[in-house]
Chain A
Amino acid sequence: MTPYAIELHHITKTFGSVVANRDVSLAVNKGEILSLLGENGSGKTTLMNMLSGIYYPDEGEIYVEGERVEIRDPKDAYALGIGMVHQHFKLIDVFTALENIALVLDAHERYDLKAVREKARAICERYGFVIDLDQKVYEMSVSQKQTLEIIKMLYRGARLLILDEPTAVLTPQETERLFAVLRAMRADGKSIIIITHKLHEVLEISDRVSILRKGEYVGTVETERATEDSLTEMMVGRKVELNIERPLSSERHLRLSVHNLSVQSADGVRVLDGVTFDAYSGEILGIAGISGNGQKELLEAIAGLQKTLPDSSVLYYPDDDRDSSAEQLIGKTPRDIRDMGVHLSFVPEDRLGMGLVGSMGMTDNMMLKSYNEGGSPIADRSAPRKLAEEIREELDVVTPSIATPVSRLSGGNVQKVLVGREIAATPTVLMTAYAVRGLDINTSYTIYHLLNEQKQRGVAILYVGEDLDVLVDLCDRILVLCGGKCNGVLDARHTTKEEIGLLMTSLKQGKGGDQR
C-alpha cells in the first residue's frame, strides 16, 4: 500500500488557556481532495497553519509520505512540498504576476525572468489556468489573485495544496473554474485539502470529508456516503444543555421593520442582499450564520454606519402603539438617529476598534456617545465618571482604576465596559455582535443575564451569535443569514441545531423572503 501524502497524528495546539486543536488525527491520500469542515472557531485554520509551518504543534507528529517530519517554519513546509493559499493573499500589489512568482526563487538561484515565465506557462497549460503573467496584481480581480497564489505554490513544487476557504470570495462561475482546475490537479496526482463551510461544495468537489468541532476531530467520511444532513449533524454535534434562562416577556410590539436591506462591498459584491424581517420589543432575535455572511453589514446598516443600496428600508416604531408614525432610519448618520430620540444601542464585534477607544480610560469611554450633550464647549466628565464607577461596581469590572486605558483590561472586562455603557443608555433597540466571543463561562452568563433583563424591560434585541447551542437556548426567534440573504426565520423554541446548521450552509432556492 502506498503511504499517505500526509498524516497528522494526535496533534494538540493551545494558545494560552484556549485549546485550538485537541488530539486531531487525519490523513490525505495522493491524488485526493479532502474537505475540512467545521464551524467558526473549530480549529481548521490553526490545524492547517501547523502544516504550513506558521505554528508549531504542542504535541503530535506529522508524516509526509510515510516519513516523520518537523515543520518549523514555512521554508520547511515548502521543502516538503506543502503549499497553503491563505484567505488573505500574500502578493505584492505593484509587481506583475510573473514577478510575484519569481519571488519564490531561492537566494542562490539566478533571477531569470525568462526561465520563470516558461516554467509558469507550462504549469498554466498543464492544469488549465488562465492568467496574464504581465498584469500587475493591483489590477487583478480577487479570483485572478487566487489563481496566481495557486500557480505560485505549484511553481514552488507543492505536491500538497491547502486552500483556506477559497470559494468565500468567488462568484459561482469562478468557483466552477476553480473546481475544474482542482480536478485537473487531482488527476495529476496532487493532494488537496480544502477548507470550506459550504456543504454543497463539499459534496461536489471532495473525495472524503474530515470534520472538526470545537478543536476536536469528529471523524472522516467518504463523500459518496455523506448527505448535507449527516454532515451538518457531525459538524454541530449533539445538543448541549446550557441552562440559559429564557423568560417570557408580556409585551410584544413591533419595534423595527427591516425591508429589502442591501449593502454592496467596495468590490461590488452584494454582502447583504434584500434582507427583510421584523424585530419586536421584549424579544431576543438571534441572527445565525457562518461569519462573513452579512451579519456585520446588517447591524451596521441599521446603526447608520453602512451605505445601503436604493430601496432599503429600516422603519423604527417609537411608541408601543402600532399606528404611531414610523421613522425611517436609512440615510441617517448615527448622530441623526440619536438626535431623533431613538435609543439605539450597539455592541459591535470589534470592541476596541469600534466600540471603545483603547487608549482611554473607562470614564472617557463612557462619554463616547454622549459627550456632545449640553451647550457648553467644555466636556462634562463628572457624569461619565459616576457612570464608570457604577459599571465597575455592578459588573465587577477588574481594573486598577477607571482612568486605566481599557486596552490594558482583559477581553471579558473590556466587553463588560462596552455592554455596560450601551445598556446604561436605556436603549429601545439593542444590537450585539458576538457579545460573548472570547469570554469565559461566568462572564458569558453575566452577559446573557443582562440581555434577558433588557428583554423584560421591553427592549428589542438583535443577538448575532456563533454558538448554536446558545442561540437555541437564549433567543426567541432565530434569523439565519446565508450569502447575505435571509435564509429563513425559525422559532427558537421549536428548532434544532441541525435545522439552523443546514440553513447556514446551503441557500434555499428562490429564498430571501421573510418568515415568521
Chain B
Amino acid sequence: MTAKHETAREPLIRVVKRTSMSAKGKLGVRLAAVLLALLADAAFIFLVTGLNPIAVYRTMFSGTFGTSLRFSWAMRDLASLLLIGIALAPAFKMRFWNIGAEGQVLMGALATATVMIYCGDTLPAPLLFAAMLLASVAAGALWGFIPAWFKARFSTNETLFTLMMNYVAIQIVACCVNIWRGQASGLGKLNMRTKAGWFPQIFGQRYTINLIVVVALTVAVFCYLRYAKQGYEIAVVGESENTARYAGINVGRVVVRTMILSGALCGLTGFLIVGGRDQTISTGTAGGNGFTAIIVAWLAKFNTFTMALISFLLIFLEKGAGEIASAYNLNDYASDIIAGIILFFILGSEFFINYRAVLRGHGHQEVRK
C-alpha cells in the first residue's frame, strides 16, 4: 500500500503558544488591534451604510462624552456593571462559577425596597440607610451562601445551582411587586412624596455615592485578593483542592466564606441600584448586568482594575451604538455591528498575545518520518 509510506505533511499554518511577551509587545498588539478595528469598521460603514466613517465615529464618541448628562449616565451604568464584576472576582478566582449574580443583585434590591416601603416613614434617614444596607447585604449573602453550602456539603454543581437561583429570585421579586403595586399598572418610584431612602445628590451629581463605592471596592477587592491571607487561600483552593487540603486549608469553609462575600457584594449592588439609581424595583432591576459582568470578570482575569477598563469599553460601545442608531436613523442591528466589530478586534488581539502563528517550513519541524 502506498499510503503506508506517505509522510504526514505539516499544515500551512500552525498555532504555537508563546512563552511570554514584553509589555511593549503587548501594547503594540493592542494598538494595532484598535487601528485595524477602526479601518475594518470604516470599510463596513462606508460600504454598507454609505455614511462618512469619521462622522460616525464622532457620533459614537459623543454617546458617552457628548454632554455631561450622557457622561453621568454612562458612569451610572458603568458603576452597576463594574460592581457586579468586582463581586464575582473572589468567587471566580476560586473557580467557583457563580452564574447567580443576577439573582443575588435582585435579592439585595428586594431587601432594600422592602425596608424603604415598610420603614421609610418611621426610621430617621441615617438609620433607614443603615437598615437598607444591612438588609441588602444579608439578602445577597444568603443567596450566595445557599449554593456554596450545598457545594461544600454535597458537591452539587454550582453553575446550575446558582443559575437556577436566579429564576427563584426573579419570581420572588415579581410576586412582591405584584403585591405592592395593588391596582396600579406599575410600581412607580417608591416613597415619591417623602423621598425616604433616596440617595442625596453630592457635588450636584445624582450618582456620586455609587461612584465612590465602586472606586473604593475596586481597590479593596484588589488588595483583598492580592495581599490578604484569605485572598491567598482563595487562590490555592482555585488552583487545586488537593493542594489546599495538603496546606491545611478547610476547603468547604473557604468556599462558603467566599460565596457569602461574593453574594454580599452583589446584594450591595442591589442596594445602590435601588437607593441610588432607580428608587424602585422590578424583575429587570439587574438588567442582565449579572451576566454581562461574568464576561467582564473573565476578560480581566479577575483583576479589578482591568475590569474597570473593560466595563468602560463595553458601556462606551453600547452608548455609542445607541447614539449612532438614533442620529443616523439606522436600525439597531447596523449600529450593533459597528460596535461589535470594534469589540471583536480588541478581544481577538488577546489571542495574538498568547499565541503566534507559524507558517509551513518555518520554525521547528515536527514531521513524522
Chain A residues near B (Cβ < 8 Å)? 56, 70, 72, 303, 305, 333-335, 338, 346, 348, 350, 353-360, 364, 367-369, 371-372, 376-379
Contact = CB atoms under 8 A, between A and B. Distances in A.
A357 B236 contact: yes
Interface string B1-16: 0001000000000000
Contact of B227 (A359, A369, A378): A378
Contacts of B235: 357, 360, 364
Given A346-B246, A348-B246, A354-B246, A368 B236 contact: yes
Nearest to B224: A377
14 contacts: A72-B4, A305-B246, A335-B250, A355-B243, A355-B246, A357-B236, A358-B240, A359-B239, A360-B235, A364-B235, A369-B247, A371-B233, A372-B229, A378-B228
Contacts of B248: 333-335, 338, 369, 372
A379 B246 contact: no
B228 A354 contact: no
B250 A333 contact: yes
Interface hub of A303, A350, A354, A359 (most chain B Cβ within 10 A): A354
B232 to A, nearest CB: 5
A459 to B, nearest CB: 19
Nearest to A58: B369
Given A305-B245, A334-B246, A335-B248, A371 B228 contact: no
| Residues of B contacting A: mostly | helix
Interface hub of A348, A355, A360, A379 (most chain B Cβ within 10 A): A379
Contact of A357 (B227, B243, B368): B243
Nearest to B240: A353
Interface hub of B235, B245, B248, B249 (most chain A Cβ within 10 A): B248
A371 B239 contact: no
A20 to B, nearest CB: 17
A72 B242 CA distance: 37
B242 A353 contact: yes
A122 to B, nearest CB: 32
B230 interface: yes
A360 B239 CA distance: 9
A462 to B, nearest CB: 16
Contacts of A350: 242
Contacts of A379: 227-229, 231-232
B247 A334 contact: yes
A226 B320 CA distance: 83
A368 B235 CA distance: 11
A377 B228 contact: yes
B368 A367 contact: no
Contacts of A353: 240, 242-243
Contacts of A368: 236, 243, 246-247
| CB-CB nearest 10 A-B residue pairs | A335-B248, A334-B248, A354-B242, A379-B229, A368-B247, A357-B239, A70-B4, A354-B246, A379-B232, A371-B232
Nearest to B223: A378
A372 B254 CA distance: 13
B169 to A, nearest CB: 31
A354 B240 CA distance: 7
Contact of B229 (A70, A334, A369, A378): A378
A360 B368 CA distance: 36
A377 B245 contact: no
A369 B231 CA distance: 15
Interface string B218-229: 000000000111
Given A333-B250, A335-B248, A356 B243 contact: yes
Nearest to A356: B243
B212 to A, nearest CB: 24
Contacts of A377: 228-230
A354 B4 CA distance: 44
Nearest to A305: B245
A406 to B, nearest CB: 11
Contacts of A72: 4
